[in-house]
Structure 1
Amino acid sequence: MTTAQHPPRRILIVGAGLAGASAAAALREQGFDGDVTLFGQESHDPYELPPLSKGVLLGERDEPDWVREAGYYGEHGIALRRDTTVTALRPADHVIVDADGVEHGYDRLLLATGSRPRTLPGFDGPGVHMLRTLDNALALREKLTDGARVVIVGAGWIGCEVASAARAHGAHVTMVDPVPLPLRNVLGDQVGSVFRDLHADHGVTLRLGVRARGTRPDGRAVLLEDGSELPADVVVVGAGAVPRTELAEAAGLDLAAGGIAVDAALRTSAPDVYAAGDVAAHDHPRHEGRVRVEHWSNAKDQGTHVAGNLLGGHDAYGADPYFFSDQYDLGCEYRGLADPAHDELVLRGDPDSREFLAFWLRDGRVTAALNVNLWDHGDALTALVGTRARVSARQLAEADLNTLTTAGAADRR
């Protein structure tokens, strides 16, 4: 994974989401005065995704958070190519090709192509919605009416947040997932049970541990593998996302962990080509194996970080994953990267009260932390995860957290 030594004059960015737009802005903020072109498939300016399943879907707002204010790109000499699909990459020639057959040369290239919603067999009929874009969110919101029968396939973060928004609009909601608990793969059984009870308490019918096999041809029901049917006016598929790696794969770039393989500095296997955001399978300096994260902060922070490397730097990206979720009256933040099937779970506070902290320990070190409806410990949790503090379960449950962060920093030294 190498990069030419000459200073770049033309930098192209494929993908006008949060990662790509953050990189373009950071290039200008770092003083780059060459050509910057940002290619995006949507007609909108670049925007952030979290408000789509929160404020937009709830009807509290009609717009997302824009990455930059209106007019920013033109004012800063960034060529924003909306409604443009890049169809080919020729690394040997330092060229990309758009859908009109036009070739664009580059000195450095950033692939920030993001992800698309995962499709499921049998869910391609009428009334099926997915949530990835602003237009998706606005179209779905129109259907979340009082009394509407909404079936959500998938009990991950998107499924849970859509369920919360749908109930706020007075819809009748059923959530289906073959996994027996919401968010089990991320949070494990005990914390996943908190989210199961949260949705049940807010009137969501949970059909967990059973797989959906598609919709009826008229789209008016979801068919389950146990033979039952769930009447539906609206069907939402929230089954995760698939990284958009087709461009990189066709160009012969190395892939790994479902994404584009990049080194610690976010360089791909092709000279002068980098990747950031959802699509980057990152050789993280502080995590085992490759890390690929599909969350807002990772896209923003990697996009900002990679700008310096596009300009000739070699700095490793070492930030820990972070994400947040709002569901009904529950808000939470997650830092780090746990393996809930094997890491030790430590709870501080009472999960039944929905005000608690959760920690995951591996070999006596903190791998991840979750705060639920408690907002005074963010810095301490970031430090505990960031330093991989060596602590005991009892200390996490009872000791002053700020004291533990100091000890963890000393231990790292």
Structure 2
Amino acid sequence: MRTIAIIGASLAGLRSAQALRQQGFDGRIVVVGDEVHLPYDRPPLSKDFLLGKCEAVPLADQEDLDALNVEWRLGNRATALLSSGEVALQDGTIAADGVVIATGGLPRAIPGSHVLRTLDDATRLRNALTDAQSVAVIGAGFIGAEVASSARALGKEVTVVEALPTPLTRVLGAEMGAACGQLHGDHGSTLITGVNVDSVNIKHDGINPEVDGIKLGDGRHVNAQVVIAGIGTRPATDWLAGGPVKIDNGVVCDAGGVTNLKNIVAVGDVANCAGHRAEHWTSATEQAQVAARNLLAGDTVATHTNGGYVWSDQYGVRIQFIGRATNDVRVEDGSIEDRKFVATYRDGANPEDVVGILAMSNARLFTRFRRNLK
């Protein structure tokens, strides 16, 4: 291969470029990104960035970026995959022997609400929070909870609305999801569960529209001057529609990130690897190493097993989870009431096998139990 195009200039794209160089590729690498920014870390956006404690956190310093010797095409969206070796951009095309698809996900939005995915999203939200007194967060998943925590730290009146009866049930199960949900009440936020949001109310003063709270599906009104939707993402595959790569809840690929075309791989949030799409920071990094190896080999010579590790900082508490949740969950150390514990999830067929671990404010024991994960 002489030229590899990486479509997506965030974490998965940068890690793919780094992996290609580490594995000996010395040809041309072109990295295309629709944002104008060099790669930055997304996790701080919902926390320290909103609190004004930091600005954008680079994923690599300029010296390391220069050493990669890649061609950056930033602020330039990919519009189509014309063939297995040609990508259409807003300003032309790129011919490449190999392609890495790393376009990530797009946040699901509600008219009138903010979303939080990019640095520009975070900047708009931070500015909006400056003069607001009341904030509504739609969705009590990790991102929604982190934004609620930050807004509360800024002294805002915060209401979190979750459609499910218990937050994070699909990720952590009902018992542990409830434990995480209790953090909102501990710190003065209001959590409303089991109800959908009907609409974000907008009032017009003849000049500028303003948010006037949200209307819930049961008719209740929630006061809010700023509304944030944290209701998940969808894979950014619109530009691939009608092209040669198979699409189904992301880019369809095998456990090595290889698509139906062996010179095209997918990594990160956009990759549906062997029927599973992992939207985790660590997964993007690990997948990049494997996908780069397979792209250079021209076949699947390595695979990636998703560990499912995720962490979240909320209200001064660090939550860590890895593996999968089951109905058999046991608190191994500490207590839920103290908001400091480690819990394990056991396999239904083999109760002694630990298949998942959740920790709250207990990183040391989380690491120890992680060694026994099946």
Match of 1:38 among 31, 45, 49: 31
Count of aligned positions: 361
Match of 1:291 among 260, 276, 279: 276
Are the aligned partners of 1:150 and 1:174 in contact in 2 as well (CA < 8 Å)?
yes
Q: Tell me which amino acid in the other structure corresponds to 1:239.
A: I
Are the aligned partners of 2:132 and 2:225 in contact in 1 as well (CA < 8 Å)?
no
Distance in 2 (alpha carbons) for counterparts of 1:319 and 1:23: 17
Distance in 1 (alpha carbons) for counterparts of 2:303 and 2:182: 41
Q: Tell me which amino acid in the other structure corresponds to 2:330.
A: V
TM-score (norm 2): 0.92
Q: Tell me which amino acid in the other structure corresponds to 1:274.
A: V
Match of 2:330 in 1: 346
Are the aligned partners of 2:17 and 2:68 in contact in 1 as well (CA < 8 Å)?
no
Q: Aligned with 1:305: secondary structure?
A: helix
Match of 1:231 in 2: 223
* 1:6-405 mapped onto 2 (5 Å cutoff): 8-64=1-57, 66-92=58-84, 94-100=85-91, 102-119=92-109, 123-125=110-112, 128-145=113-130, 148-218=133-203, 219-256=211-248, 258-283=249-274, 290-312=275-297, 314-338=301-325, 340=326, 343-349=327-333, 350-362=335-347, 363-364=349-350, 365-385=353-373, 388=374
Structure 2 stretches lacking a partner, 5+ long: 204-210
Q: Aligned with 2:121: secondary structure?
A: helix
Distance in 1 (alpha carbons) for counterparts of 2:319 and 2:196: 28
Are the aligned partners of 1:37 and 1:81 in contact in 2 as well (CA < 8 Å)?
yes
Are the aligned partners of 1:19 and 1:304 in contact in 2 as well (CA < 8 Å)?
no
Greater shift, 78-87 or 303-312, is seen at 303-312
TM-score (norm 1): 0.84
What do residues 89-128 of structure 1 show as CA deviations (whole Å, max 9, x unaligned)?
1234x1111012x121111111001001012xxx323xx2
Q: Tell me which amino acid in the other structure corresponds to 1:124.
A: P
Structure 1 stretches lacking a partner, 5+ long: 1-7, 284-289, 389-413
Consecutive aligned runs of 4 or more in structure 1 exceeding 6 Å deviation: none
Q: Aligned with 2:364: secondary structure?
A: coil
Distance in 2 (alpha carbons) for counterparts of 1:214 and 1:118: 14
Are the aligned partners of 1:154 and 1:177 in contact in 2 as well (CA < 8 Å)?
yes
Q: Tell me which amino acid in the other structure corresponds to 2:59.
A: V
Shift, 1:166, TM fit: 0.3
Shift, 1:146, TM fit: 7.4
RMSD: 1.7
Distance in 1 (alpha carbons) for counterparts of 2:74 and 2:169: 38
What do residues 346-393 of structure 1 show as CA deviations (whole Å, max 9, x unaligned)?
2213111111112112222322111111121344333222xx1xxxxx
Are the aligned partners of 1:19 and 1:301 in contact in 2 as well (CA < 8 Å)?
no
Distance in 1 (alpha carbons) for counterparts of 2:19 and 2:245: 25
Q: Tell me which amino acid in the other structure corresponds to 1:24.
A: A
